[in-house]
Amino acid sequence: MTDRRSAAGWLAGVALGATLLAGCSSASGEVAGAVLTEPYTVPATSLTDTGGEPYSLADDTAKRLTLVFFGYTNCPDICQTVMANVTAGLTRLDDADRDQVDVVFVTTDPARDDEQVLRTYLDRFDPSFVGLTGDLDTITEIGADVGVAVEEGKKLPSGGYEVTHSTQVLGVDGNDRVPIVWTEGTSASEFASDIHTLLGDG
């Protein structure tokens, strides 16, 4: 298996040229993330969490900031690196900031990432992280609404298949909007600094 992002999927999912201002500043200082000139609105469509309950990125994200990442548990490299950096970034926050942040992992490989598989995977990072699975078409539609490209993987000669998806981390605010995204290369210290800045702006 590979984690291949096609040029078309990447450009469609990130669309940085027209919608992002890299290294923009917030009210209280510069941030490493890319601030959207036109924030995405998170759809209310429900998926299924690791407890088997419906979960909507709009209706069930109650914290001031929710970090959302679309990936899959069999990803050989990028997904694990991004999740590790997010996790390490959160450990650098003080308790007051950490209590205001949730993390949601939406699988792009629901055929294999059922509720138990997701829970086992996320528990290696942080047991509080929310994992979501569901119908691939629904996941693809939700991703498209927030600028994340999810493409059904092609079968490989080996019998496996590719999973193609964008790799940005979305920052969902308390108004169910996405005003900022972070690229896959964002470090733990950059996540921590940006999150502290964003929460201070609120």
Q: How far apart are CA 59 and CA 52, in angstroms?
A: 16
Note the pLDDT of residue 162: 66
DSSP 192: H
Residue 2 lies in a domain: no
Query: pLDDT, tens digit, for every residue of 55-103?
Result: 999 999 989 999 999 999 988 889 999 999 999 999 999 999 999 999 9
The percent of residues above 90 in pLDDT, for the chain, comes to 71
Residue 78 lies in a domain: yes
Residue 111 lies in a domain: yes
Residue 139, helix vs strand vs coil: helix
Average pLDDT, the chain: 84
Residue 189 confidence (pLDDT) above 60: yes
Residue 150 lies in a domain: yes
Residue 143 lies in a domain: yes
Which pTM does this prediction carry? Answer: 0.84
Note the pLDDT of residue 89: 98
The CATH number that applies at residue 80 is: 3.40.30.10
Note the pLDDT of residue 124: 97
- Look-up of token digits 């069999």: 74
Residue 106 confidence (pLDDT) above 90: yes
Domain housing 121: 7-201
**3 or 135, higher pLDDT:** 135
Residue 25 confidence (pLDDT) above 50: no
Residue 14 confidence (pLDDT) above 90: no
Residue 175 lies in a domain: yes
Residue 1 lies in a domain: no
Residue 202 confidence (pLDDT) above 90: no
Residue 175, helix vs strand vs coil: coil
Pairing of strands 65-71, 101-107: parallel
Q: What's the structural domain count of the chain?
A: 1
Residue 151 lies in a domain: yes
Q: How far apart are CA 26 and CA 35, in angstroms?
A: 8
Query: pLDDT, tens digit, for every residue of 110-159?
Result: 988 999 999 999 999 999 999 999 999 999 999 999 999 987 666 655 45
